[in-house]
Chains A and B, each alone.
Chain A
């Protein structure tokens, strides 16, 4: 969203396509950047999460369904109700699965902490395990001592799925901790 705001400030209308699981982050970022209250509603087109496992054909079909919404953003036309997040989250948090997942990744989190990062799992609902990769003062200068967030998501998914069959995806936010 920050890139879109940079481009808007340069006079370039910018449409943002985002997975609906990030809706709370989109609203929080919009508020942080002091954007108009309706910025997210008018400029973001949502896709159902996850998208990383789509075939190219399914990915194309999702865009085909939303191309009018993308045009609407670029042309500033009034948005239609269909642009709301595709899959509103309604399921209750699954605390037991969350605790199981935390126990499974305990050793992985410990190894990350040894390198100055941390893995914190915070939510499990509707098959999505969510958390944060917190990056503090790393033991390496170039960040190479910790794996990229998307690779870590895949690793956590591979570790947890054998124990929790309902797991569909893992979403980790990368958080940079500012030293005191």
Chain B
């Protein structure tokens, strides 16, 4: 008898949990995660400026490399935030 094995492996990741959304931005702590690409700072600065007008206060973090996930210290800096905007560039 020939046994054929499925080579694809059996690891199945759980679907990530997405956060509940707040009813408004007023009084929330806003985090900005800049991936360091060219012009990301200008685009995200303007985003922060406009969202601060909604009453959000600002924390800013920057990735050392856009091609890698954010280092633990960047995530730690954003943990205190209620909402985050991240990006961008190219």
Question: Which A residues are within 8 Å of any B CB, using their own CB?
Answer: 2-19, 21-22, 33-36, 39, 47, 49-54, 56, 59-60, 62-64, 67, 70-71, 74-76, 148-150, 169, 171, 174
Contact = CB atoms under 8 A, between A and B. Distances in A.
B13 to A, nearest CB: 5
Contact of B31 (A8, A12, A149): A12
Contact of B67 (A21, A39, A59, A174): A174
Q: Which of A19, A62, A74, A75 has the most CB of B within 10 A?
A: A74
Contacts of B5: none
Contacts of B44: 17
A48 B26 CA distance: 29
A70 B69 contact: no
- B interface, by DSSP: helix, strand, loop or mixed? loop
Interface string B10-38: 00011111111111110000010100011
B8 interface: no
Contact of A149 (B20, B67, B69): B67
Q: Which of B17, B31, B42 has the most CB of A within 10 A?
A: B42
